Every structure is written in C-alpha cells, then in structure tokens.
Amino acid sequence: MRIAILLFDRFTALDAVGPYEVLSRLPDTETVFVGQRTGPVRNEGGSLALVAEATLADVARPDIVVVPGGPGQSAHMSDGPVHQWLRAVDATSAWTTSVCTGSLILAAAGLLTGRRAASHWLALDQLPTLGAYPTGERVVVDGKYVTAAGVSSGIDMALTLAGHIAGDEVAQTIQLGTEYDPRPAYDAGAPDKAPDEVVSALRARSRFVLRGEA
C-alpha cells in the first residue's frame, strides 16, 4: 500500500507529520512525500523543511492521499498542477484525506462536492462556497474521503483511517506504540471551550477574516 503525502511551500508541519507517524506504521506500507518538485519544502514558519522525494508525475496511483493545510494552501485554490494531480490520483485511490485547510484544496479541486467535511474552525465557512458541507466534527468520514479539523486532529484522522484499513487492534497497537494519550494542560482546544478573548484574538488575526482568502 502506497501513501502519498503532498507537500507545498508554507504547509503546516504537524498536518503532514502527524498522519505520517501513524500511517507509516501500518503493515506493508510505503510512504512518499510528493511535491511539484523534489527537494526540501519549507513549512509556514520557514524554519523546518521536509523533503519531497518524488514529483507529482512520479506518483500516479497511490492508495492513500494526504493533503495537509497551512497558509500555503491559499496558493493552491485555483486549477493547476496540484488540482490536476489530485483529481487524477483520486480516480484510483482507496482513500483521499486532508488535515486542517487541506480540505479547502480538495474542495477547490472538486473532490468534496456534496460531501460533509472538516477543516480548521476558522476556515469552516469557506467550505460551502466550494460545494462541501462543513461540520464541527474533529474527523469526518464520507465515503472514501476522510477530513480532519485543525492541525493536531491529523493524528486522530490517521488513527481512524488505520482502523478502517487494518482493524481496531492494529490501530490500537499504533496508538499505544506512539503513546497517543493526550492530556492537554488546558481545555481550550475548540472555539466553544476557549475563553472568549482567546477566540476573538485568533479570529482577528485569521487570514480568512482579514483578507477573505479561500
């Protein structure tokens, strides 16, 4: 089973690395980071790079596709090489997935039309304009499409997918092996739980609110 994780400039690192740490532990898998060009691809802060080992043209029939989000998502909202690749690989993929605002890329490519989808809470209102139905759920499975909310939920998405592919025991073994037993210091991980002033501050800084970007 081949897993392709898309990289693009200014992606969010955990969106890609979280699913990688889970899915790469599935039996008989090969994971490849893919980009428009090979070589280092820098995250949103520019301080971390992952290496795209293959170009889009090199990876034609992955079984699983993972699309991360991040500020660089805005550059991939119009038709172009990334959209063309996504539509092509989606035709034969067993699972097409996203984390955070990666769902906006999938939706803009026409792959989530009429489907329920998750995204970062600040970006949820972008989904209806792209033909998808937004939900506030952390992980959404709609057919072969599995979308996750913001950043850290990529781990939950990958564990959900691992269960569908290999069964509960394998997924639970991966969870235990990675000791994924989150106990956050604060209960502020969703807008309905965080203090109003924290929600307002993040909303005020959001690129979606400030510039209406999609």
pLDDT < 70 positions in the chain? 210-214
Tell me the two tokens of residue 186.
């604060």
Q: Please indicate, yes or no, whether the overall pTM of this predicted structure exceeds 0.75.
A: yes
Instruction: Please check whether residue 70 is in contact with residue 12, taking contact to mean a CB–CB distance below 8 angstroms.
Output: yes
16, 26, 89, 100: the active-site residue:
100
Nearest residue to 66 (alpha-carbon basis) of 47, 89, 46, 44: 89
For the chain, list the domains and their CATH numbers.
Answer: 2-187 (3.40.50.880)
* Active site annotation includes 101: no
pLDDT at 209: 74
Q: How many Å apart are CA 11 and CA 58, to the nearest integer?
A: 21
pLDDT at 211: 46
pLDDT at 178: 98
Q: How many Å apart are CA 115 and CA 132, to the nearest integer?
A: 5
Quick one: 42 exposed, middle or buried, by C-beta within 10 A (0-12, 13-18, 19+)? Answer: middle
